[in-house]
Amino acid sequence: MAFSPLVITAALVGAETTREQTPYLPISPEEIAQEARRCRDAGASMVHLHVREPDGKPSQSAELFRQTIERIRELAPDLVCQTSTGGAVGMSVDERAQPLTLEGRAKPEMATLTTGTVNFGDDVFWNPRPLVREIARRMRAAGIVPEIECFDAGMVDEAFALAKEGLLDLPAHFDFVLGVPGALAARRSAIEFLRSQLPEGSTFTVAGVGRHQLPMAELAIELGGNVRVGLEDNVYVSKGVLAKGSFELVERVVDLARAKDRQVATPDQARQILRLPARA
Ligand code: KMH
Ligand code: ZN
């Protein structure tokens, strides 16, 4: 069966990865944009973005996102920019939703929407239904397309409920985040099950966490999904060897795709595959 070209998302920063874990983590808007460019050159068509305060603290500051996205538009003009609305555990809805207020060149084309609460290591990633609905409402009002982040199986079902309430359109694009301690484990049967539950015509990406990242990428390629890799979810390119940036992980995925005869999508192909508006 011929699958569509592979959309590779690079998750460059995240909220949890630290400079103590890896010196290659980009922090400033300039560093993040330079890393985005390297990932574009390596084969990524989309970047999933978080931002950091200068001291490395996770942030959802609209101003930091504005600086970051405007610089990415200069360095890698065709990349699809997707902002987080998850932020870091413990953030309020207003804090999390700040990137949805961006306009003009800084406006993201996509943003994440996690559709349920989940254990997140020893923390709780808190997404009660009223909060999810509020973020979905703001995203829709801003004309930003959601990527539905599923850390557990019920989060797919919740997308149907949101669609019924007119808060999102189906089919949609889903991201299966697998291997977070306390949430759904990273295994083939999880991908197969989640895929079987998707609304007709939907697309999906798989983001494996930690050591599961590249094995899950390989499975996603094989099963017709798309792939997310990067330092947000994993800092190693092989056992004990730090990736020198998310770009090295993107390079690995391109090699895996080549080995499985799967083409890699350009950003404009990614827009078509993910049902995003064409670039102006
Ligand atoms: N940092 C996690 C608590 C997202 O970007 O939408 C949430 C997260 C998901 O990273
Ligand atoms: Zn994220």
Nearest atom in ligand 1 to 112's CA:
6
Give 8-273's CATH code, choosing from 3.40.920.10, 3.30.70.360, 3.20.20.70, 3.40.50.300.
Answer: 3.20.20.70
Whole-number pLDDT of residue 129:
98
Give the position of tokens 């995240």: 14
Whether ligand 1 lies within 6 angstroms of the CB of 114 is answered as yes
Whole-number pLDDT of residue 115:
98
What is the residue with the minimal CA distance to atom 6 of ligand 1?
86
Residue 148's DSSP bridge partners are 113, 174
Give the position of tokens 């083939």: 188
236-238 and 241-242 strand pairing: antiparallel
Whole-number pLDDT of residue 1:
72
Whole-number pLDDT of residue 43:
98
What is the residue with the minimal CA distance to atom 9 of ligand 1?
86
Contacts of 205 (CB under 8 A, 6+ apart): 7, 9, 147, 173, 174, 175, 176, 220, 225, 226, 227, 228
Whole-number pLDDT of residue 280:
77
Cα distance between residue 226 and residue 46, in whole Å: 11
Nearest atom in ligand 1 to 85's CA:
6
Q: Which positions of the chain have pLDDT values less than 50? A: none
Reference 233, options 50, 34, 39; nearest CA is 50
Pocket residue to mutate for ligand 1, from 49, 52, 60, 84, most atoms within 8 A of Cβ: 84
Whole-number pLDDT of residue 24:
98
